[in-house]
Chain A
Amino acid sequence: GENVEQHPSTLSVQEGDSAVIKCTYSDSASNYFPWYKQELGKRPQLIIDIRSNVGEKKDQRIAVTLNKTAKHFSLHITETQPEDSAVYFCAAPNAGGTSYGKLTFGQGTILTVHP
């Protein structure tokens, strides 16, 4: 099955700075990489995802980059704001890159943005 490692486990930044969270995966056949944000006491919600046919995807202040050769992908948040404070999870398919939609999640990164 897929193995996903996420770093760092905690990240503290000043408002306006950038934040970067990195994940590595083990299955070279994996082709879909979502990122979820979970605010305190709430459910995880998808914020951005990338498929293996592109190397980068942006949505306003967030972007995800993918390096299939090195088997890692990263979440980039620019101009951070206090409301970005949350736990962020990366994920990758755990079915050999095919079918079924099951995901393996990273361990999570607690991001704190200080005003």
Chain B
Amino acid sequence: IAGITQAPTSQILAAGRRMTLRCTQDMRHNAMYWYRQDLGLGLRLIHYSNTAGTTGKGEVPDGYSVSRANTDDFPLTLASAVPSQTSVYFCASSGGVGSYNEQFFGPGTRLTVL
């Protein structure tokens, strides 16, 4: 693995189903983030994690949950998907807590909820 990866690349999901989007980085970054990108709304933060074992809510957390069991992985779960969660989801990571560093983005997951 080089950098930050996401899986799946795309997914079509029936409303009401549970879905986990995966994100893995090999840069040993402390901080990780999940964004959703919708046309005209830019990138909106869903959840973040400053370091392994801690998570926090972003701007649009409702309907989503995350966990950070280790440094490398930061999965995003939709417990019961709804059509308004149709979006492109980007995971990102950055070097450290307490300083501003470049955020590196994954390639994204395009999710369609029908």
Residues of A bordering B, CB below 8 Å: 1, 6, 9, 31-32, 34, 42-46, 49, 51, 89, 93-94, 99-108
Contacts and interface: CB of A to CB of B under 8 A. Distances in A.
Q: Size range of the interface on B?
A: 20 to 34
Contact of B103 (A6, A103, A108): A103
Given A43-B90, A44-B105, A99 B42 contact: no
Given A105-B43, A107-B41, A108-B42, A45 B58 contact: no
Contact of A107 (B31, B42, B98): B42
Contacts of B96: 101
Given A43-B108, A99-B98, A100-B50, 7 more contacts: A31-B100, A34-B102, A46-B103, A89-B43, A94-B45, A100-B48, A101-B96
A49 B90 contact: no
A100 B97 contact: yes
B43 A102 contact: no
B105 A106 contact: no
A108 B40 CA distance: 7
B31 A101 contact: yes
Contacts of B97: 99-101
Interface string B28-67: 0001010100001111110010100000001100000000
Interface string B81-106: 00000000010001011111111011
Which are the 3 A-B pairs with shortest beta-carbon distances? A32-B100, A43-B105, A105-B43
B90 A44 contact: yes
A15 B99 CA distance: 38
A45 B41 contact: no
A32 B35 CA distance: 19
Contact of B42 (A89, A94, A100): A89
Contacts of A34: 100, 102-103
B75 interface: no
Contacts of B31: 100-101
A89 B40 CA distance: 11
